[in-house]
């Protein structure tokens, strides 16, 4: 449901007050209702569907839902043309992706062992509650350390790629960035669809979309001394919502389908303040398993794990924070309603 306060300020997230609006999954699209509620239905909208990869042009439903005046940036297609024009850069990027895959694989092996230890410790019948709590917190600390180290190594790999191969000085990249920038500048809003989050982020970075979408505002309370403020309204869901936040986490509690261990992938664009987006949470997470959810909340700390399900519509504050109302995973592993204050200030969700 729309966050509390949305009705009190109908313009929030619209053209007169541009903000980021995060949605639940759009398998049964309701973008027409969302764009109408924001006063954006029929607005000229730049759409980003690179996460769909070679299906990115199959956007007829998306275009209809947004009112018909859409400009698909076709970042996936442009990226393929870029690689064709600059095979040296394509080879370097392919090698980067190979190393990223290896980093992710080895990191997950470490996670598996730490989680196994955590399960065994939690199942142990404690002789001393304080000692048992310390042992649990020690393993949670190891998990957070594994996540942080992995994030740092992935960031270092990306930085090395950009420093060594300097895409920003290559003709094909410069041409692509300029063309995409002009298209966005001519639009009133931006919509970012889901799909493969790694592919989507790669496209957003190579075309340098962060400064196209937002600009920095000095902010002493922010970790980096600035916060991002969007130039025009941005609507995002699925991988699109994940990509805008500070940290991208892959998660699926069904161990038959996946390892069943949440894993950090990389940093997102960081256009939000203090969020990890968890799309399709009811499908992918065992929300009734408090210990699993407590582990997830601990690993996200101090960021808020934002639950995004069908019909969820969350318009962030102008500086990218979470307002009052949306569901997050609380520190005790229970879904709660955020009260709009600091990440620890939440109240139990009714009926959760």
pLDDT at 352: 43
Type and span of the H or E element at 32? helix 31-37
pLDDT at 260: 79
For the chain, give every domain's residue range.
1-85+180-352, 87-169
Question: Nearest Cα to 323, choosing from 37, 25, 13?
Answer: 13
Measured N-to-C along each axis, helices 290-300 and 87-123 cross at an angle, to the nearest 10 degrees, of: 130
Helix residue spans in 38-170 (DSSP H)? 60-65, 75-85, 87-123, 129-165
DSSP 51: G
| Interior angle at CA 143, CA 293 and CA 129, nearest 5 | 70
Residue pair 38/21 in contact (Cβ under 8 Å)? The answer is yes
Task: Determine if residue 138 is left, alpha or beta; phi over 0 gives left, psi from -120 to 50 gives alpha, anything else beta.
Answer: alpha
pLDDT at 254: 72
What confidence tens digit (pLDDT) does each residue in 39-95 have? 999 999 999 999 999 999 999 999 999 999 999 999 999 999 999 999 999 999 999
The share of the chain scoring above pLDDT 70, in percent, equals 92
Other CB atoms closer than 10 Å to residue 158's CB: what's the count? Answer: 17
44's CB contacts (< 8 A; 6+ apart) are 69, 70, 71, 186, 187, 188, 189
CATH number for the region 1-85+180-352 comes to 3.40.50.880
Q: How many residues does the chain have?
A: 352
Q: Within the chain, which residues score under 50 in pLDDT?
A: 1-10, 344-346, 348, 350-352
Question: Nearest Cα to 273, choosing from 293, 248, 296, 244?
Answer: 244
pLDDT at 255: 56
Other CB atoms closer than 10 Å to residue 62's CB: what's the count? Answer: 19
């Amino acid at each position: 449901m729309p966050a509390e306060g949305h009705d009190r300020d109908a313009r929030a997230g619209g053209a007169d007050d541009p903000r980021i609006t995060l949605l639940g999954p759009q398998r049964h699209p309701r973008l027409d209702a969302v764009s109408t509620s924001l006063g954006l239905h029929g607005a000229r909208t730049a759409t980003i569907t690179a996460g769909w990869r070679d299906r990115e042009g199959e956007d007829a439903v998306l275009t209809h839902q947004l009112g018909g005046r859409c400009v698909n940036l076709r970042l996936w297609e442009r990226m393929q043309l870029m690689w064709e024009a600059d095979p040296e850069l394509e080879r370097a990027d392919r090698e980067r992706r190979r190393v990223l895959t290896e980093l992710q694989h080895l990191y997950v092996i470490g996670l598996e062992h730490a989680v196994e230890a955590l399960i065994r410790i939690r199942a142990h019948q404690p002789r001393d509650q304080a000692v048992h709590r310390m042992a649990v917190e020690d393993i949670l600390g190891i998990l957070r350390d594994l996540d942080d180290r992995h994030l740092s190594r992935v960031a270092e790999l990306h930085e090395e790629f950009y420093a060594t191969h300097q895409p920003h000085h290559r003709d094909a990249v410069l041409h692509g960035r300029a063309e995409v920038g002009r298209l966005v500048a001519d639009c009133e809003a931006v919509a970012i669809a889901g799909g493969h989050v790694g592919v989507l982020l790669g496209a957003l970075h190579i075309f340098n979309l962060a400064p196209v979408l937002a600009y920095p505002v000095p902010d002493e309370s922010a970790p980096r001394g600035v916060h991002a403020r969007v130039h025009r309204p941005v609507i995002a869901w699925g991988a699109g919502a994940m990509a805008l936040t500070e940290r991208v986490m892959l998660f699926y509690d069904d161990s038959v389908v996946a390892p069943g261990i949440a894993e950090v992938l990389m940093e997102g664009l960081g256009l939000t303040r203090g969020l990890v987006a968890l799309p399709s949470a009811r499908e992918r997470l065992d929300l009734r398993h408090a210990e699993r959810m407590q582990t997830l909340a601990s690993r996200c700390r101090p960021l808020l794990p934002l639950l995004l399900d069908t019909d969820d519509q969350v318009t962030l504050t102008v500086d990218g924070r979470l307002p009052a109302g949306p569901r997050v995973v609380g520190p005790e592993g229970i879904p709660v309603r955020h009260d709009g204050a600091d990440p620890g200030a939440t109240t139990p969700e009714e009926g959760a």
